[in-house]
Homo-oligomer: A and B are copies of this chain.
Amino acid sequence: MRELFNEIKSLYDQVRSKRGRNVERDIFVAQIFEKSTALLGNFEILSLVSRVPQKSYFCFRGVVEGRQKLSRAINSDLYFPNLVIWQNFVEGLKSGELDEGGKENFLKVIYTVAISFCAVNDIFADRDQKTPGTFFEHFISYLIRLRLQVDPVQSIQVLDYDGLDVSLPTDLIFNLGAAKPKFHVPVKTSTRERAIMLWAHQKLLDGVYGIEKFVGMPVLLTETKTEARTYQVTEICLPDQWLVYQLYISKLKRVYYLDMPDAYKRLAYAVPPINVKPFIEFFFEWEEVYSH
């Protein structure tokens, strides 16, 4: 099993590499999906105690080098290791003819690619919290690029009045061309009490290049937290604080989730609104997000 894990890690290194051509990335991501879910198939499934209404969660329990390891919580309704649907989704993205009727299943396979890689890493390299986050960012970047057909950048120039130009590292920025808005896409596996960073990064771009030049649109995996002793899963959501950030720091046009917390749905009806949606919606509404 360690060997299969090493194969997955090596595919991950390929996805991370900027040199890969797009057709190769398609193969690497599909293989990560296939191998990660196959590897997880060897492990026991442990039901977790869900404290989230209408959602149920489980985790994988593996024994690695004599020690028991648990994966992170996985949403039972979203875990769907179906490679055929994954291939359909990717083909639809590339052809621009994504079937709207397939939304629900597409969201499930996107979630499953992300969470299965994270779960494998939890079990085989549990001290390494960086790899899941890095993989998730490259994975979401790969999907958005398939749709928008542009490569993202991860820095902007800041013009200094004293003539010292500074390059500022940023989250993913997809630029659709001159005189068009640009997507600013922070990608995180969760935000919890760090969500204010999303608004603060948007504020920087607004400050440097002007308001509405960049469309703020974070993509997040989930907000679950598992209590180690009781196996209870909760979602850490702070909707009232998000509204204060949207009022006093900057404006995020969308917040997308793979495992969408219900607690954020009502923010679409607040003043000012925050549109928090399942990530699959982006692929159908991106022109609207960008032009309205």
Contact = CB atoms under 8 A, between A and B. Distances in A.
Interface of A: 158, 162, 166, 168-169, 194, 196-197, 199-201, 203-204, 207-208, 240-241, 243-245, 247-249, 271
A250 to B, nearest CB: 9
A168 B244 contact: yes
Contacts of A158: 244
Contact of A203 (B166, B241, B249, B271): B249
A170 to B, nearest CB: 11
Counting from the closest, the 7 A-B pairs by CB-CB distance are A207-B248, A200-B200, A196-B200, A204-B248, A166-B240, A203-B249, A168-B244
Chain multiplicity (copies): 2
B196 A201 contact: yes
21 contacts: A166-B243, A166-B244, A168-B241, A168-B244, A169-B241, A194-B194, A196-B200, A196-B201, A196-B204, A197-B197, A197-B200, A200-B200, A200-B249, A203-B203, A203-B248, A204-B245, A204-B248, A207-B247, A207-B248, A207-B249, A208-B244
A201 B203 CA distance: 13
A264 B47 CA distance: 49
Given A196-B200, A204-B249, 9 more contacts: A166-B243, A168-B241, A194-B197, A196-B197, A196-B204, A197-B200, A200-B245, A200-B249, A204-B248
